[in-house]
Amino acid sequence: MKLWILRHGEAEPRANTDAERRLTAHGREQVLHSAAHLLGQPLQAIIASPYVRAQQTAALVHDTLGFAEPVRTVPWLTPESNVRQVIGEIERLALEHVLLVSHQPLVGALVGMLEHGHLQQPARMSTADLAELEGELSPFGVMTLLSPRFNP
């Protein structure tokens, strides 16, 4: 399996709720930079958190790639979601090439669990950073981090 994990772009610092924070202009630019690294990849699904900034990020990637399928919105990709539950949900999809769009601390914990097999080494992922992993989802810790893409 190949899995890409994208943290949303920079978001405004305040909104009525955390879930309502929107991308800034800089955040949109960051996302477009990361989306360029996905051009030509054989994605089967773009799956995103329901939070506004993740939805905006996923929509920008979707449009940049000209992706045919709609973005899938799932409740299990929010910032505090359980890493093991997320991995189980990904396994149930039975897809080989998936992009997840979510938030810290989840994205860092997810990369750490898939690469190292534990939560003690979360990846440092800034806004719009993209991690590409390849391998089997389980047992935990056997995926290889192929190319972390960090935004300037």
Q: Tell me what pLDDT residue 59 has.
A: 98
pLDDT tens-digit map of 73-131: 999 999 999 999 999 999 999 999 999 999 999 999 999 999 999 999 999 999 999 99
Sorted by where each begins, the domain ranges of the chain are 2-145
pLDDT tens-digit map of 37-75: 999 999 999 999 999 999 999 999 999 999 999 999 999
**pLDDT tier for residue 152 given thresholds of 50, 70 and 90:** low
> CATH assignment of 2-145?
3.40.50.1240
Q: Tell me what pLDDT residue 129 has.
A: 96
Q: Is 72 helix (H, G, I), strand (E, B) or coil?
A: strand
**E strands of the chain, at which residues?**
2-7, 45-48, 72-73, 97-102, 130-134, 144-145
The model carries a pTM of 0.96
Q: Tell me what pLDDT residue 147 has.
A: 78
